[in-house]
A and B are shown apart, each in its own frame.
Chain A
């Protein structure tokens, strides 16, 4: 009995241990899995994020005018599991530390993360293709040189021809 009175007295002296939020600062650790940020310049359209997303929150579809791929993530479905970030080779998807997610019901359908990966023409045949992100080049070739850089602007078919034919 006495031992608990001691703890009570100690806790009284120390005061509340809860954060004073929203009247004061609260603790947000580095690496908190919050709102998702999409970087279109790093995306290579592999659709792995769409495949692993348990909630079906991510959709990647061709835009209506067929000018590129549109990435849409609906924050209301997202479970913040981080699988998309883990399996994204080029780190185009990142979970930010932003946990301020409250929004009005009327904003529900607009509360999304969007991005468009515009197609670029293949430098040889001119067919539209998803641009090859420098991040992917780094994973594939580690160091790039002029010959490898040339491959970057080629569509998969032309790239194959170039690599095999060497021209």
Chain B
């Protein structure tokens, strides 16, 4: 049988974001893959050097919409580490809450898109409807459905009043049952299993070799989570488990994401319980001396690293970030080989690709 090369993208209906794949197929089976990126490059690293530290909080938040809280949070952590600021304890908890709210929404979004790709649209709608609870939470507490605008240098911009804490707690309790239900559907429904089990397998050795992070690595049995390995904010005081799966297929990655969403509900409830009273930010605009720092956090897609160098002025000398999706793209080369053409969008979706992160 001869081989063909099929171009997928840069704009493809099932991918919904621009990325160009050159897929080599033999019959119906994928035998090779070549990825070309850069279709929506925005030059944000350069832009960051032209703006002052405050403006960059907003700029980094616009890097990506689904993990939009982690970017300014990590950026502020890098700045705080240069300036030697310790943020108030209440702010640490509030940062965790913002992070985890975004994590639940992001993970549910990816899992719902998976249902959409396999043609199970009523499940897609059902998951999105559950996610809507989280969207309303974001809108009610932060004032926006995607960009929370929670972080500022030296803490957070928002505070939870007693009523808001009550509301958040009630909504988290409300999430528990649907999350459980959705998890059961994904793991037991014969249609979902038929399309996702054994598809896009990524062995553990390969995941290590490519340096993968986030739910993709955890789906292949690597228990790597920044929240546990090098805790930031209040994560060292919170009790949660790193979720892993051994099979490394599309289903395993979805299961990891859904269980992480369940864990996140628990983390938020713990935060509401343990959160001390006090200021939510340092209350002043600090002087940022010359220096450099690296900060990292666990975005919904995995480890996010920020490198920041300052020269004593009010703009960064260099701001560079390594986003989780960056390594995960490469692993597609391993996951795709040997699978059917019809599974291409499904496998691409399973790494939770974030093109706006990759091509900032």
Q: Which residue of chain A has its CB nearest to the CB of B145?
A: A32
- On chain B, the residues within 8 Å of A4 by CB distance are 122-123, 185, 189
Would you call B140 and A31 a contact (CB within 8 A)? yes
- Residues of B contacting A: mostly: helix
Interface size, chain A (Cβ < 8 Å): 26
Interface residue tally on B, bucketed by range: 20 to 34
- On chain B, the residues within 8 Å of A29 by CB distance are 136, 139-140, 143
Which of A54, A82, A86, A87 touches B51 (beta carbons < 8 Å)? Answer: A54
Which of A8, A33, A79 touches B143 (beta carbons < 8 Å)? Answer: A33
Query: How many A-B contacts at CB < 8 Å in the complex?
Result: 77
Most buried by A among B52, B123, B149: B149
Q: Given contacts A3-B189, A27-B136, are A81 and B143 in contact (CB under 8 A)? A: no
- On chain B, the residues within 8 Å of A7 by CB distance are 126, 181, 185
- Residues of A contacting B: mostly: loop
Shortest CB distance A164–B (Å): 25
Shortest CB distance B68–A (Å): 11
Q: Given contacts A11-B126, A17-B132, A54-B51, are A83 and B152 in contact (CB under 8 A)? A: yes
Would you call A82 and B54 a contact (CB within 8 A)? no
Shortest CB distance B316–A (Å): 14
Which of A1, A27, A33, A54 touches B57 (beta carbons < 8 Å)? Answer: A54
A157 at the interface (CB under 8 A from B): no
Shortest CB distance A48–B (Å): 8
Q: Map CB proximity to A onto B58-71 as digits: 1 under 8 Å, 0 otherwise.
A: 11011000000000
Q: Map CB proximity to B onto A17-58 as digits: 1 under 8 Å, 0 otherwise.
A: 100000000010111110000000000000000011111000
A residues whose Cβ falls under 8 Å from a Cβ of B: 1, 3-4, 7-8, 11, 17, 27, 29-33, 51-55, 79-83, 86-87, 95
